[in-house]
Amino acid sequence: MVSRFYNFGPGPATVPEPVLNKAREDLPEWHSSGMSVIEMSHRGKDFVGIAEHAEAILRELLAIPSSYRVLFLQGGATGQFAAVPLNLKRDKAKFAYLSTGLWSEKAIAEAKRYGEVQIVASSKERGYTAIPSRSDWNIDPDAAYLHYTANETIGGVEFQSIPEVESLTLVADMSSNILSRPVDVSRFGVIYAGAQKNLGPAGITLVIVREDLIGHAHPFTPSILDYKLQADNGSMLNTPPTYNWYLLGLVLEWIKEQGGIPAIEARNIRKADKLYAAIDASSFYSNPVDPAVRSRMNVPFLLAKTDLEKAFLAEAKAHGLVNLEGHRSVGGLRAST
Amino acid sequence: MVSRFYNFGPGPATVPEPVLNKAREDLPEWHSSGMSVIEMSHRGKDFVGIAEHAEAILRELLAIPSSYRVLFLQGGATGQFAAVPLNLKRDKAKFAYLSTGLWSEKAIAEAKRYGEVQIVASSKERGYTAIPSRSDWNIDPDAAYLHYTANETIGGVEFQSIPEVESLTLVADMSSNILSRPVDVSRFGVIYAGAQKNLGPAGITLVIVREDLIGHAHPFTPSILDYKLQADNGSMLNTPPTYNWYLLGLVLEWIKEQGGIPAIEARNIRKADKLYAAIDASSFYSNPVDPAVRSRMNVPFLLAKTDLEKAFLAEAKAHGLVNLEGHRSVGGLRAST
């Protein structure tokens, strides 16, 4: 008998049960292909169909303009922390970064391997519980791009709108909030997202990149991270993570069936509002984040008596609620929705 | 009703049916964990158990010495084409490569991004149907390492023993023949293998690296490809491809149940001997490879009348035999076993 937990882990995260059941049905044989998706040649008609279908749904859900390429890569967001500066550096000396939490910090540390990083603004001194106001940003117009982390899973801070950066190329890590709200892709140079938080399985990474930014990679860029080599080969420069791509497609199909991003967003708002309302109404729970930028995706909370955390987690698990621990770097508790 | 094809594709390749059935059983819930493996946190007890178990079986099957680390990475062999020079370069100016086919050529092209490549010997002039004899190799003792491709899937050429390279660090791409025959790991600096040919699912890459070679990566190495960062974090510097890791573990378990490498090797020899004997006895089929280095994994063959290839493939498919086309770069026919 299957009794599924309510999984509040930030990623890998819950996959809709219909998706899991579909994956189960497709084992050991996908349709009447004579084999499972795991075994299919990535260059065969069946898998190419699966891959193209996933891209088509994603383009539809996000209304991706035709001047953007969609890549399905390996290496996660951490791979893109290197790929972004390597592909976009060109003749520029600097990269501009917003620092709003631990994921921004990781992206910044990696970019420093490849050039000078200018911190446009940082909320570090405020314990990463806020986003610096736009008027305080100090942008060097000569930077190759401006990078920000759309949602910080650890601090629970989320951009509620796309920042204005004039003519600068905007790059966003949307690993933890992609497809959770509408986004105007045309405002960006690059959007990337590891799949394991909002899109399904770990092991596949989405990169949405404006065409004119492709083809200028630094000679030291490993081929697997080179946007041009991957774009020219339909993300099949080498064998792609075929089964992950298939599972991602199933999740995208499910999102479409639910009513697309507007339906998902409405559900997220409902869930987050309920959680924050309960926290704010209570004298026992508290959330430290500036209410204007509270994340809909990750809700960190503290107990008035921190020594009760262990008891809280045990009690929650007994009720089927799991993975409510805060990130090991900050402690406390956290619900990822 | 499931009627499975005999899949002769070189990779992604056939996965044993018991493995697929086990994967099916574990959906939507793994054991009594309340969730599928796809959804598990990579830092949780359940997944860490799955990951460690896979490594333990691999270490047992290959008798990997304790002075070697096993990494489970993303990016495939193509990712390692860059990772090997980036991690092993140190203060050396040159990398030594054997050129025995199209996969060697790709590894060489990638290494050239990071330094000078010395071609120790090449069988290109012989159409990659042979391996240059050891006495003709010209090894620069000052190279950072010597790299070879243990089995060339396209040409169907396989090293039948480990080359003698004195004190030079030996690196092998074993993507297409790992676990198909015993190998003395202690003779190598690095062994790597994309999983999709012999180990299961695409999207996870095995790296077996001697400890003293870890910790000297070039500063431009993306963190995901840095052996030290990955070794220090148990291959979980960032979220690993969790489901692929789990499937790989199931395949390793199946190999162990079959009797380990000796049993797999005996089966491979039987299959390859039968195929080559049929080809050699026929005036209609032919194989161009030097008999001393014929691959047990990939058997390319030509028809006396090449215009019959299409009819042959159609007839084979009607009998449930699929993916017998030769690689698109060389044509002809090929059976990958």
ipTM score: 0.94
Closest CA to A159 of A205, A117, A100: A100
Peptide bond into B132 cis (omega under 30): no
- Tell me the average pLDDT across A66-77: 98
Write the CA distances from A182 to A45, A62, A149, A185, B210, integer angstroms: 32, 7, 16, 9, 48
Catalytic residue among B173, B226, B228, B245: B173
Closest CA to A189 of A173, A168, A210: A210
State residue A133's pLDDT score.
94
Q: How far apart are CA A314 and CA A322, in angstroms?
A: 9
- pLDDT, tens digit (0-9, with 9 covering 90-100), for B80-101: 999 999 999 999 989 999 999 9
pLDDT grade, residue B1 (50/70/90)? very low
Q: In this structure, are residues B83 and B57 in contact, taking their beta carbons and an 8 Å threshold?
A: no
User: For this structure, is B197 an active site residue?
Assistant: yes
**Contact criterion met (CB < 8 Å) for B35 and A5:** yes
CA quadruple B19, B20, B22, B23: dihedral, nearest 10 = 120
Catalytic residue among B103, B226, B228, B245: B103
Q: How far apart are CA A291 and CA A134, in angstroms?
A: 17
pTM: 0.95
Tell me what percent of the residues of chain A surpass a pLDDT of 70. Answer: 99
Q: Which two tokens stand for residue B281?
A: 């006895």
- Tell me the average pLDDT across B49-56: 98
Q: How far apart are CA A180 and CA B124, in angstroms?
A: 53
Alpha helices in A63-149 (DSSP H): 76-88, 102-111
Closest to A7 (Cβ–Cβ): which among B11, B35, B196?
B35
Q: Tell me what the pLDDT averaged over chain A comes to.
A: 94
A20 in contact with chain B, both atoms CB, cutoff 8 A: yes
- Tell me the average pLDDT across B188-206: 94
Q: In this structure, are residues A150 and A162 in contact, taking their beta carbons and an 8 Å threshold?
A: no
- Tell me the average pLDDT across A205-223: 97
Nearest 5°: phi and psi at B97? -130, 140
Could you tell me which residues are beta bridge partners of residue A148? A172
Q: What is the separation, in whole angstroms, between the first and last Cα of chain A?
A: 25
**Contact criterion met (CB < 8 Å) for B241 and A242:** no
Q: How far apart are CA B215 and CA B219, in angstroms?
A: 11
Nearest 5°: phi and psi at B142? -95, 5
User: For this structure, is B256 an active site residue?
Assistant: no
Q: How far apart are CA B192 and CA B172, in angstroms?
A: 7
Write the CA distances from B53 to A1, B58, B233, B253, integer angstroms: 25, 9, 17, 9
- pLDDT, tens digit (0-9, with 9 covering 90-100), for B211-252: 999 999 999 999 999 999 999 999 999 999 999 999 999 999
- pLDDT, tens digit (0-9, with 9 covering 90-100), for A78-131: 999 999 999 999 999 899 999 999 999 999 999 999 999 999 999 999 999 999
Interface of A with B in 224-243 (CB under 8 A): 224-225, 237-243
- Tell me the average pLDDT across B115-131: 96
pLDDT grade, residue A331 (50/70/90)? confident
Q: In this structure, are residues B152 and B59 in contact, taking their beta carbons and an 8 Å threshold?
A: no
Peptide bond into B28 cis (omega under 30): yes
Would you say residue A11 has pLDDT above 80?
no
- Tell me the average pLDDT across A236-247: 97
State residue B230's pLDDT score.
98
User: For this structure, is A136 an active site residue?
Assistant: no
Higher pLDDT, A60 or A306: A60
A202 in contact with chain B, both atoms CB, cutoff 8 A: yes
Residue B326: how many other CB atoms lie within 10 Å: 18
- pLDDT, tens digit (0-9, with 9 covering 90-100), for A286-307: 999 999 999 999 999 999 998 8
Closest to B5 (Cβ–Cβ): which among A35, A202, A323?
A35
Would you say residue A31 has pLDDT above 90?
yes
State residue A1's pLDDT score.
42
Q: What is the three-class DSSP state of A122?
A: strand
Higher pLDDT, A330 or A302: A302
Q: How far apart are CA B250 and CA B49, in angstroms?
A: 13
Which H or E element spans position B62? helix B45-62
